[in-house]
């Protein structure tokens, strides 16, 4: 007959756990613990609490910050996951000394941190990076990551679109009420229908409130862009995974140990105007970290083609950095890639639906010829200026027209003209910043040199692994908060924990422990 070991759930077990021993030197949790205890000044949080005479004691901001940083590093970016970890995971228990803050405590801690306080903490971590010899200060690379936030793109539109949506919803409520009354007379319960009507009416009211309280949002070109009822600071953005409603999280990275020296999330999809804010932020942060006021002067700055714009190039000139930002066609001109094919696979099965519907050549397919002041079309023909120059905000626009004789027998007519059977010659409106042409041409010439290509090629290794770490290892696939200030706190916390990881791994004193 089989014999089994006896078991009894009413028995007691004594398991001695030393919390300090769970924080093993050399691990991320130990570095976070040490950094928060020894290097970060969290006294700014004290003014939040008015419980010196009455009320219960609050959780220490140090305990909360340690749990949030480790949680973000372990892919737990929601308050409920953090609460669960403090209950179930021995390392989190050790970090919080066995305390168990609930999800609402974590949520209000992160969302109430404020931009000023997170900026101070971010700079204090940078100061340690500098002391540990992790900052090189010679080459900085900038890149961005577009992530969805806590807002739905279905609630986006211009004010006119939203007014139409509100009208539709009000009409739907009216029809549903009439239907409800008819069903009522037939004796139906209609409880579910009643709730649906209330939901629709609430949606219509919400749009009405939004339209009353908010002005239309204006884009860079002075035209109205889409607002969002849930989070009006977020924007609709095109990504390789489709259209998202969210933020463009930018990070400036120092090349020596891939330390993030400036992090900022913008509610704008394009990168064409981001360089100035990021360079100024980098300068301020590095100055505060003790790197000196001249830290950016003559430093190399690289960014990908998304940043190629007059505005960004002008910012680089003003900040006196040695910039390398290629134009979108630089690979076509690269003699090393002359025989290379295209191997890019579509990353999204729905990608086709997001692709531009434009089939004809756009202004970006035309080159400006500095010598003649004319625009050169893909067939190599010169387009002459026609009409007057017009101004749109900071931009000037010139109209160009191709001679009919040039387009008449052109083999590219079908690709160039919207109505090849009717249109005589192509017209193009070309936008640029005043005095900006010179900068773009200079940059193209600089990138096309052997040295230019060599320096630019370093960008990939500098900045992309940082985004790979934050996105794939730390699992940041969306911001869970609303509003630019709160999203910025979350993004900086992620960049901060990335830097703390680097301090633990490569810091001169930390790595020896
Ligand atoms: S149709 Fe005219 S503008 Fe277009 S590529 Fe041909 S010649 Fe150039």
Distance 340 CA to ligand 1 centre (A): 26
Is residue 241 in some structural domain? yes
Whether 436 has a pLDDT exceeding 60, the answer reads no
Structure tokens at 1: 């007959």
Q: Are residues 136 and 275 in the same domain?
A: yes
Q: Are strands 300-303 and 322-324 parallel, antiparallel or unpaired?
A: parallel
- pTM passes above 0.85: no
Q: Are 439 and 307 in contact (CB under 8 A)?
A: no
144-198 pLDDT, tens digit each? 999 999 888 888 999 999 999 999 999 988 888 888 778 777 766 677 888 888 8
Q: What is the rounded average pLDDT of the residues 501-508?
A: 91
Measured from the Cα of 378, ligand 1's closest atom is 5
* 159 CB near ligand 1 (under 6 Å): no
Protein residue with its CA nearest to atom 7 in ligand 1: 407
Is residue 224 in some structural domain? no
Is residue 367 in some structural domain? yes
* 415 CB near ligand 1 (under 6 Å): no
Whether 359 has a pLDDT exceeding 80, the answer reads no
Q: Are residues 208 and 325 in the same domain?
A: no
Q: Are residues 410 and 462 in the same domain?
A: no
Distance 352 CA to ligand 1 centre (A): 27
Residue 343: what pLDDT?
A: 56
Q: What is the distance between the alpha carbons of residues 66 and 77, in angstroms, rounded to a whole number?
A: 13
Q: Are residues 108 and 30 in the same domain?
A: yes
Which segment of 72-81, 360-369, 463-472 scores lowest on mean pLDDT? 360-369
Long-range Cβ contact pairs of 90-94 (< 8 A, separation 24 or more): 90/17, 90/22, 91/22, 91/23, 91/29, 92/67, 93/19, 93/22, 94/19, 94/20, 94/22, 94/23, 94/29
Q: Are residues 202 and 243 in the same domain?
A: no
Whether 476 has a pLDDT exceeding 90, the answer reads yes
Residue 64: what pLDDT?
A: 96
Counting the structural domains of the chain, the total is 4
Q: What is the distance between the alpha carbons of residues 213 and 373, in angstroms, rounded to a whole number?
A: 47
Distance 371 CA to ligand 1 centre (A): 20
- The CA–CA distances, whole Å, from 90 to 22, 132, 216, 266, 444 equal 8, 30, 50, 37, 55
Is residue 503 in some structural domain? no
Is residue 322 in some structural domain? yes
Ligand 1 probe mutation, 359, 374, 410, 423, most atoms within 8 A of CB: 410
CATH number of residue 490's parent domain: 3.30.420.10
Q: What is the rounded average pLDDT of the residues 236-245?
A: 86
Q: Are residues 138 and 259 in the same domain?
A: yes
Whether 394 has a pLDDT exceeding 80, the answer reads no
Whether 345 has a pLDDT exceeding 70, the answer reads no
Mean per-residue pLDDT over the chain, rounded:
87
Domain that holds residue 186: 159-215
Is residue 12 in some structural domain? no
Is residue 512 in some structural domain? no
Residue 56: what pLDDT?
A: 84
**Bridge partners for 156 per DSSP:** 228
């Amino acid at each position: 007959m089989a014999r089994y070991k006896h078991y009894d759930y009413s028995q007691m077990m004594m398991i001695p756990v030393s919390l300090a021993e769970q924080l093993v030197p050399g691990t991320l949790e130990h570095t976070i613990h040490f950094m928060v205890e020894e290097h970060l000044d969290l006294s700014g949080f004290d003014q939040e609490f008015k419980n010196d005479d009455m009320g219960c004691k609050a959780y220490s901001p140090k305990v909360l910050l340690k749990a949030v940083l480790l949680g973000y590093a372990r892919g737990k970016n929601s308050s409920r996951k953090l609460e669960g970890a403090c209950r179930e995971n021995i390392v989190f228990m050790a970090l919080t000394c066995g305390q168990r803050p609930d999800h609402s405590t974590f949520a209000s801690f992160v969302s109430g941190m404020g931009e000023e306080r997170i900026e101070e903490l971010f700079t204090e971590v940078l100061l340690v990076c500098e002391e540990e010899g992790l900052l090189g200060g010679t080459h900085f690379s900038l890149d961005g990551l577009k992530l969805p936030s806590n807002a739905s793109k279905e609630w986006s539109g211009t004010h006119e679109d939203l007014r139409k949506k509100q009208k539709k919803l009000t009409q739907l409520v009216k029809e549903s009420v009439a239907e409800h009354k008819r069903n009522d007379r037939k004796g139906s319960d209609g409880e579910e229908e009643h709730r649906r009507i209330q939901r629709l009416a609430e949606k219509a009211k919400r749009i009405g409130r939004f339209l009353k309280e908010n002005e239309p949002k204006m884009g860079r070109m002075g035209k109205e862009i889409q607002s969002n009822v849930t989070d009006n600071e977020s924007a609709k953005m095109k990504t390789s995974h489709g259209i998202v409603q969210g933020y463009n999280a930018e990070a400036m990275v120092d090349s020596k140990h891939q330390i993030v020296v400036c992090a900022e999330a913008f509610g704008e999809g394009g990168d064409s105007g981001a360089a100035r804010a990021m360079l100024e932020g980098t300068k301020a942060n590095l100055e505060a970290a003790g790197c000196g006021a001249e830290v950016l002067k003559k430093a190399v700055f690289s960014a990908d083609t998304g940043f190629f714009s007059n505005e960004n190039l002008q910012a680089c000139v003003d900040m006196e950095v040695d910039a390398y930002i290629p134009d979108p066609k630089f690979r076509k001109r690269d003699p090393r890639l002359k025989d290379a094919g295209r191997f890019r696979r579509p990353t999204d099965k729905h990608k086709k639906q997001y692709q531009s519907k434009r089939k004809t050549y756009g202004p970006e397919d035309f080159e400006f010829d500095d010598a003649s002041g004319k625009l050169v079309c893909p067939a190599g023909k010169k387009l002459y200026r026609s009409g007057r120059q017009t101004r749109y905000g900071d931009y000037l626009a010139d109209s160009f027209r191709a001679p009919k004789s040039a387009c008449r027998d052109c083999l590219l007519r079908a690709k160039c003209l919207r109505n090849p059977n009717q249109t005589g010659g192509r017209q193009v409106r070309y936008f640029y910043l005043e005095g900006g042409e010179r900068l773009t041409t200079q940059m193209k010439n600089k990138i096309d040199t052997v040295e230019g290509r060599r320096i630019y090629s370093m960008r990939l290794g500098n900045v992309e692994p940082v985004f790979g770490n934050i996105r794939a290892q730390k699992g940041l696939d969306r911001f869970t908060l609303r509003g630019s200030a709160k999203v910025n706190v979350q993004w900086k916390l992620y960049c901060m924990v990335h830097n703390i990881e680097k301090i633990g791994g490569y810091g001169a004193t930390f790595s020896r422990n």
